[in-house]
Structure 1
Amino acid sequence: MKKVTIVLILFLASFSSYAQEELTWHTDLNKAIEISNQESKPLFLFFTGSDWCGWCIRLQKEVFKTPEFIAWAKDKVVLVELDYPRNKQLPQEIKDQNLKLQQTFAVRGYPTVWFAKPTLLDNKINFEQLGSTGYLAGGPTVWLKTANEIISKFVPNPKPTKKEVKAAKKKVTKKKA
């Protein structure tokens, strides 16, 4: 009986870690924006202190690692983790990017999740801020209800027509010449 219990526990533990691996958390904002525009989904910007913030760890455990959240996230958003660790070193370009975004979104506490629509205007990235949230007691049901209310404001950018794409390509070709 003990062997069966141990095997069952190991199986369930491996399944739960596998479920978390199914999500892709981007750390490169430019790559995430590209995917956001391709898939017509808002950005999910998770500002976290992964190795020191108790509420961040709790939000991950109670919401982000659940099957409900995983299914929702795959369908609705592009995940971006903006980490501010104390004990782990990040590449300098990621540190700089995260600091700039913290200032852009006026994040003053952790965890904070901003939902945003990225657009390119005059060769600069602009964000339409849809709304933000943080830790909410009540598990994935309560958290996802709030998230769905926020992302209901998201209106995808219209897809360019073939004529517009052709005109843009001509414009780029003329600049190179």
Structure 2
Amino acid sequence: MKTIFLAIFMVITAVSIKAQNRLDNAKKQALENKELILLNFSGSDWCIPCIKLHKNIIETDEFKKLETENIIVYVNADFPRNKKNQLSADMKKENAGLADQYNPKGLFPYTLLLDQDGKVLKSWEGLPAESALAFSKEIRDIQQQRK
């Protein structure tokens, strides 16, 4: 009897943990640390502006400071096309849900700055024209205005 109860408990726990997605986790972290959420929609292996965005902004030290200094929580919703880059079924489903909620037009790249409740504070359609430094400064300024 204990074994059956334990098995049922483990299944229920596993399902509830699985149900929490990256955005939910990001919202919790943002609330705890007074951070913003940066949600980026990209096509990492087919969208040239997306690839440039990641190389010229997201992968820079200046941008990474936003994460290490607890300014933002970064969430990437990627939609790769090449078979070798395909995501798990769960990740595809989660990214599709994020797109339904925040990117119904299917824009790539599309970047959103959200508050801890998921409210959109700022959006960038396409590749931002500014440098990584200017992009990061804009996010810092928005966070400062919210304090």
Do 1:117 and 1:154's aligned partners in 2 also have CA atoms closer than 8 Å?
Answer: no
TM-score, scaled to structure 2:
0.71
Mark the CA change 1:152 to 1:129 in structure 2 (over 3 Å): closer, same or farther: farther
Alignment partner, residue 114 of structure 1 = 112
Question: Which one has a bigger Cα radius of gyration?
Answer: 1
Choose between structure 1 and 2 for higher RCO, CA contacts under 8 A separated by at least 6 residues: 2
Alignment partner, residue 159 of structure 1 = none
Alignment partner, residue 129 of structure 1 = 120
Task: Please give the alpha-carbon distance, in whole angstroms, between the structure 1 residues aligned to 2:146 and 2:76.
Answer: 20
Structure 2, unaligned stretches of length 5 or more? 1-20
Structure 1, unaligned stretches of length 5 or more? 1-26, 120-126, 156-177
- Identical-residue share of aligned pairs (%): 28
Alignment partner, residue 138 of structure 2 = 146
TM-score, scaled to structure 1:
0.60
SS in 2 for 1:43: strand
Task: Please give the alpha-carbon distance, in whole angstroms, between the structure 2 residues aligned to 1:128 and 1:61.
Answer: 27
Task: Please give the alpha-carbon distance, in whole angstroms, between the structure 1 residues aligned to 2:134 and 2:63.
Answer: 11
Task: Please give the alpha-carbon distance, in whole angstroms, between the structure 2 residues aligned to 1:118 and 1:92.
Answer: 27
Task: Kindly provide the amino acid, as one letter, of the partner of residue 73 in structure 2.
Answer: V
Cα deviation, residue 73, structure 1: 3.0
Q: What count of residue pairs does the alignment treat as equivalent?
A: 122
Cα deviation, residue 83, structure 1: 0.6
Structure 1, residues 95-117: CA drift from partner, whole Å, max 9, x if none? 11211211211353111111112
Alignment partner, residue 12 of structure 2 = none
Alignment partner, residue 50 of structure 2 = 56
